[in-house]
Structure 1
């Protein structure tokens, strides 16, 4: 017997408020509540949904929770689950981004972020290891992850191409296999024909791009650029938040100049300490972009508009993918080649996450670069010590993310006040 709607709302509100720790921690929280505690979904259905969401562009944790809500109560369940997952973090991040924009010139605040950066590196490494432990079950998957890392780090291949190649390889490998369907879950999904799919796609496309069109029509060019950038990001970055951050770091920092690499790390540190999807770091980027390029608006209003527009174009597509695609994917749940393709993409994403970890590590350890390569004389000893200590605390002693971030931030602030950094 499936849960009634009020009980479902309470469960997804709980997930939204407890969704700390990045995608790995958030997926673990969903699994514990929906599969282990409530038993509303069985393990095969949950993992099938997860693999499908890893295939999609955008934030996989928000897509997974939307998928779960849709399985239980159709479109209204998906809407409630997806919105409750994002709204708490949106409100918190909006306040933090405003404080950051107004007070980063203060030594104490600079010290806090000096300590946060190494801790964030440890969290990213932990996420890669967690996802890797779940996805890299055999030499085939490990080889895909390694090939993905080499392709993006050494060769510079675009991530969508890596995802496509991994998916095709997985499809080929699993084309003759048989996948067990597992026990039936307590779900209500229904079916959708071609006309229903087209109507769903048209509705959500219109909702998604309407604010960007309004910005162009009313001549707010900077906000149109912000909206188009993050709208493009929503459809070209696969594999969830950590994969998306590689693209954001390249484009927002190097191409648009909205913020520096150090500020990008600061934003990720803030996103790690708030509930909701880790990709809310995009909201931080959007706030700074709107604050620094407000056009005719007050900078603070520009920041709010930039953040809100960013969140809208980032998360609305997730509802489109789930509501239009999930009915068809459910019908293919026992398809061996599809399941193999989804699993292969998940393995490739692990390699991309470790590419992101290496990028962050270089920017934590060194303050200046000559092109891609760090300038060795600019090594930052305190950051290196904090990064190693944070990794030991998280990986060896199993400290929680929030205590590690808090301690590292306090050490950084203290070191700044004493003139040690």
Structure 2
């Protein structure tokens, strides 16, 4: 690994750390891939608090543990810059604004039985999100692709993801493939494993309790790898099919709120908790689903520099990094098919990409501008 750049020597105060993550928590729309792209823009390109290599290493580490990847990236950055205090400040300031906003929307939903009208805003914001993801994919890819073999690993990871291979298996397979040159002829082959969904067992409704709500979301936060689509499968299995605490429509509305609000998509749990048990339910669900992320990052964060000292482990981490970027690229492609649907959205995406790549405009301003356009178009 190259020697640390001047970016790694920057030590922001806890106040600075809190302010920047609070800003991200209130403006980071578009899901984990977009959040990670915005963090790259904020901390690597603009503030130069961390280097490209450090960012990619933490991205790989975040993808190796269960939980919300963008929130774990925030926690990793806080840990890297200010130790355990930074870990708590960065994570909390990224989560809390979204949790408060989602709780307010949930209260409106429970009272009126419907969501606010946000279709026009979504139509305009989504193309900007795609442009942000593409920008991060391009910038990070130039650092991550250190050899032709890593390019092959990334391509195989993308193909596996398109064919619905489980994300964890993709990352593990990429780590194995990337480390093959280090092992030499002892490793003869590698296989791609496929995982099928297991239907949740049907049953009668279970009485609602805060303790069961806490334990259910704690389990999800402890074992869930992958995107918001995987989260949807877990939520449906637990809360619709097994516990019968939600209807299918309530679940879909909860996921929609998680997508249209800034900050972590996992604040979908906040919405569900409020529907089930009011304000206390929202607080319990939020703490439970995010608590494992703080614990797992605190354990895994200090191991990243040690991993880089081993040639085999370092090569495996490189594989995880390129696989993570491959997943980001496929997500951008999949979302782009739904987001860029007419000449207006094409124009927004192209202009956003130009402003990001050529003039380095802050992505938060682009999202706010697109939201304003959406309000005007569909007002």
Give the alignment's TM-score, normalised by structure 2: 0.69
Structure 1 residues 126, 251: CA separation in 2 closer, same or farther (over 3 Å shift)?
farther
- Show structure 2 runs of 5+ residues with no match: 1-7, 29-34, 185-205, 241-247
Query: 1:14 — aligned with what?
Result: 19
Sort the Cα spacing of 1:360 and 1:51 in 2 relative to 1 into closer, same or farther, 3 A. Answer: closer
The Cα of 1:400 is off from its aligned counterpart by 4.3
Partner of 1:231: 219
Name the CA shift for 1:137/1:50 in 2 (closer, same or farther; >3 Å). Answer: same
**C-alpha separation in 2, matches of 1:330 and 1:60:** 19
- The Cα of 1:413 is off from its aligned counterpart by 3.9
Q: Provide the secondary structure at the position in 2 that maps to 1:220.
A: coil
CA distance in 2: counterparts of 1:81 and 1:120, whole angstroms: 22
Matches within 5 A, 1:100-115: 109-115=118-124
- Displacement of 1:165 in angstroms is 0.7
How far apart, in 2, do the equivalents of 1:263 and 1:349 lie? Answer: 26
Describe the superposition over 1:271-296 as per-residue Cα deviations: whole angstroms up to 9, x where unpaired. Answer: 2xxxxxx4x2221x22443455x2xx
In the TM superposition, 1:312-323 aligns within 5 A as: 312-323=287-298
Say which SS state the counterpart of residue 344 (structure 1) adopts.
Answer: helix
2:354 aligns with: 396
Partner of 1:186: none
Contact 1:30 1:65 in 2 (8 A): no
In the alignment, structure 1 residue 140 sits paired with structure 2 residue 140: no
Give runs of aligned pairs for residues 235-384 of structure 1, distance below 5 A.
Answer: 235-237=223-225, 243-252=226-235, 256=240, 257=248, 259=250, 264=255, 267-271=258-262, 278=263, 280-283=264-267, 285-292=268-275, 294=276, 297=277, 301=278, 304-364=279-339, 383-384=341-342
| SS class of match (2:165) | coil
Shift of the alpha carbon at 1:335?
1.1
What SS does structure 1 have at the residue aligned with 2:67?
coil
1:159 to 164, 167, 181: 167
Distance 1:260 1:404, change over 3 A: farther
Unaligned stretches of 5+ residues in structure 1 = 177-217, 238-242, 272-277, 366-382
Task: Choose the corresponding residue for 1:57, options 60, 66, 83.
Answer: 66
- TM-score, reference length from structure 1: 0.63
CA RMSD in angstroms, aligned pairs only? 4.0
Matched, 1:173 2:186: no
**Structure 1 position 266, deviation (Å):** 5.5
1:241-285 per-residue CA deviation (whole Å, 9 max, x = no partner) reads xx42231245547994355768745532322xxxxxx4x2221x2
Distance in 1 (alpha carbons) for counterparts of 2:22 and 2:74: 13
